[in-house]
């Protein structure tokens, strides 16, 4: 790194610190950025889930209905948890005491998806 790039970086960090300390707008911007990243994460998760589904269509079709339903319910639980976090970060809704339940629901959904994926490895032709 050159001196100019370090100086430019320190100027940006300094402006960010001043904006954070003295203005409430920066907290709102930070919440919007986190909400946007959460929505982007949901979209990326669905994309990888869809590509996994396309490459394992036969195994999923051979899964028993119970395991297939657990897989889909787990995906739904994770999506709802991240969606609720996103609208909370955008400031549209205040989750308050519901937030720990959403975290538990999201983790349970992630575990259900993991379990269904591990079980799906039994049904390859």
Q: How far is CA 91 from CA 16, 37, 67, 94, 106, in A?
A: 22, 14, 36, 7, 20
- Number of separate helices (H) and strands (E) present in the chain: 5, 0
pLDDT of residue 111: 95
| 3-state DSSP percent of the chain in helix, strand and coil, to 5 | 90, 0, 10
Question: Domain for residue 76, yes or no?
Answer: yes
Overall domain count for the chain = 1
Q: What is the pLDDT of residues 21-80, one digit of tens each?
A: 776 767 777 777 777 887 788 788 888 878 988 887 887 788 888 888 998 999 899 889
Does the pTM exceed 0.75? Answer: no
Question: Domain for residue 20, yes or no?
Answer: no
pLDDT of residue 124: 59
Question: Domain for residue 39, yes or no?
Answer: yes
Question: Domain for residue 14, yes or no?
Answer: no
Cα–Cα distance for residue pair 6/79, rounded to 1 Å: 40
Question: Domain for residue 13, yes or no?
Answer: no
Question: Domain for residue 5, yes or no?
Answer: no
Question: Domain for residue 22, yes or no?
Answer: no
pLDDT of residue 123: 60
**Domain limits for position 52:** 30-123
């Amino acid at each position: 790194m050159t001196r100019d790039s370090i100086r430019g970086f320190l100027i940006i960090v300094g402006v960010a610190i001043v904006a954070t300390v003295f203005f409430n707008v920066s907290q709102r911007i930070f919440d919007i950025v986190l909400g946007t990243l959460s929505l982007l994460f949901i979209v990326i998760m669905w994309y990888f889930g869809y590509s996994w589904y396309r490459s394992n269509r036969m195994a999923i079709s051979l899964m028993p209905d119970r395991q297939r339903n657990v897989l889909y319910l787990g995906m739904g639980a994770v999506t709802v948890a991240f969606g609720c976090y996103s609208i909370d970060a955008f400031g549209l809704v205040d989750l308050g005491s519901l937030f720990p339940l959403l975290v538990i629901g999201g983790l349970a959904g992630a575990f259900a998806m993991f379990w269904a994926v591990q079980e799906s490895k039994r049904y390859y032709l």
